[in-house]
């Protein structure tokens, strides 16, 4: 038995994670999915964003299946009292430094993209985002009142060379298995951290002679992603740039509701790495509770969990093929339906996926 910690959190989190759990149970009889509170759901129950028993569950689990965190009612609180704190604690405490975001345009979905179908057809890239450093974690990080009585705030972008090297290795290793090209994104013309980033990426590249590297400034990368996205294979970038670029890349697939992610760290061994798996879409407060959210990202996150934490490539493929087949059959949730096509709700779409799981 492998234990999976299921932390569905807030907004559409519970609606979509439930679908992922259902698919996971279809393909693996030997996983035990245990739910626990996180984020706003924990705060509302009078607990901290990441309660001790939730952490204890994660400690004894093979992986975490995560939904989303964030509730408007906590937006004005300091970070430590906001639902998002849970996400940052999990990433930090389990050293989940490598965030993998595969961006694929499934056949049939070209027409749902915000770009011309000809630009996105067959698109297949991955964003490798550094997840435990940079401006989201650097110190000092605070709001304060200065000596002259003026309110001010500071965030710090900070990287040490080994943090860059380990994430660069992840990107090069992925590229080796793919089309062997890494695009490293930075802001080297203005940021010191980017100067170090570029230098370490170049050094790391020496160990991967079969992989070519291009460096792009982040503003240019944002432009290239919508100009000619097919030029990308693996995009390697620091925390905040990766956060922004991956949302942008998600829209190429038609909806942010399509994009799964895996956050991997140092725990675990070989092909059974501990990881956290989550849709990148967030809580989507505008549609939460309506039962219409697209569960694709959550279901594909379960596939990544099977691949990286349970070392079960065949099951991962089955899930991905079922999703692909569902789209081919014309199944669409509201975010993807175009031209008056009837949209399936969250459960109906999952029914189609489950029915199409290869036996």
- Give, as ranges, the residues between 268 and 287 that touch ligand IPM (CB under 6 A): 280, 282
% helix, strand, coil for the chain, step of 5: 45, 25, 35
Q: Kindly tell me which residue out of 243, 312, 320, 335 binds Mg ion, with binding defined by CB under 5 A.
A: 243
Catalytic choice (187, 233, 308, 335)? 187
For residues 294 and 346, give the distance between their C-alpha atoms in angstroms, rounded to a whole number: 6
CB of 323 to ligand IPM, least distance (A): 21
For residues 102 and 279, give the distance between their C-alpha atoms in angstroms, rounded to a whole number: 11
278 binds Mg ion per the rule CB under 5 A = no
Our answer to whether residue 243 is catalytic in this structure is yes
302 binds ligand IPM per the rule CB under 6 A = no
Secondary structure tally for the chain: helices H, strands E: 12, 12
What single string gives the DSSP state of each residue in 53-104? HHHHHHHT-SEEEEEE---GGGTTS-GGGSTHHHHHHHHHHTT--EEEEEEE
238 binds Mg ion per the rule CB under 5 A = no
Beta strand pairing status for 124-130 and 272-279?
Answer: unpaired
- Give, as ranges, the residues between 43 and 82 that touch ligand IPM (CB under 6 A): 70
Q: Kindly tell me which residue out of 110, 163, 233, 243 binds ligand IPM, with binding defined by CB under 6 A.
A: 243
84 binds ligand IPM per the rule CB under 6 A = yes
Our answer to whether residue 290 is catalytic in this structure is no
Q: Which is nearer to Mg ion, 68 or 292 (CB)?
A: 68
Contact criterion met (CB below 8 Å) for 168 and 200: yes
Q: Which is nearer to ligand IPM, 15 or 243 (CB)?
A: 243
Catalytic choice (74, 94, 97, 136)? 136
Q: Which stretch binds Mg ion (CB under 5 A): 53-61, 212-220, 237-245, 308-316?
A: 237-245
CB of 350 to ligand IPM, least distance (A): 23
For residues 120 and 61, give the distance between their C-alpha atoms in angstroms, rounded to a whole number: 38
Catalytically active residues are 136, 187, 219, 243, 247
């Amino acid at each position: 038995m492998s234990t999976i910690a299921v932390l569905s959190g807030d907004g559409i989190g519970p609606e979509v994670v439930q679908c992922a759990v259902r698919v996971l149970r279809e393909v693996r009889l030997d996983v035990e999915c245990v739910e626990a509170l996180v984020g706003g759901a924990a705060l509302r129950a009078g607990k901290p964003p990441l309660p001790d028993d939730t952490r204890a569950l994660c400690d004894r689990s093979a992986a975490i299946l995560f939904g989303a965190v964030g509730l408007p009612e906590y937006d004005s609180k300091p970070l430590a009292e906001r639902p998002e704190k849970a996400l940052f604690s999990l990433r930090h405490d389990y050293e989940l430094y490598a965030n993998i975001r595969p961006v694929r345009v499934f056949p049939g979905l070209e027409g749902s993209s915000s770009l011309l179908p000809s630009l996105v057809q067959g698109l297949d890239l991955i964003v490798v985002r550094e997840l435990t450093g940079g401006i989201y974690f650097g110190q000092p990080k605070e709001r304060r009142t200065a000596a002259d009585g003026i309110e001010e705030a500071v965030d710090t972008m900070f990287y040490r060379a080994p943090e860059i090297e380990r994430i660069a290795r992840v990107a090069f290793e992925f590229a080796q298995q793919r089309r062997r090209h890494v695009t490293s994104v930075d802001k080297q013309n203005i940021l010191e951290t980017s100067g170090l980033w570029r230098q370490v990426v170049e050094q790391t590249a020496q160990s991967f002679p079969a992989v070519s590297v291009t460096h792009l400034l982040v503003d240019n990368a944002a432009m290239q992603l919508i100009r000619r996205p097919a030029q990308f294979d693996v995009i390697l970038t620091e925390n905040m740039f990766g956060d922004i670029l991956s949302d942008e890349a998600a829209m190429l697939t038609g909806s942010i509701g399509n994009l799964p992610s895996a956050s991997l760290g140092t725990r675990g061994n070989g092909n059974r790495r501990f990881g956290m798996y989550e849709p990148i879409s967030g809580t989507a407060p505008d549609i939460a509770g309506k039962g219409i959210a697209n569960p694709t990202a959550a279901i594909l996150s379960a596939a990544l969990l099977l691949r990286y934490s349970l070392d079960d490539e065949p099951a991962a493929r089955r899930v991905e093929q079922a999703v692909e087949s569902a789209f081919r059959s014309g199944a669409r949730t509201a975010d993807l339906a175009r031209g008056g096509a009837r949209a399936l709700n969250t459960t109906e779409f999952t029914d189609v996926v489950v029915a199409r799981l290869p036996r």
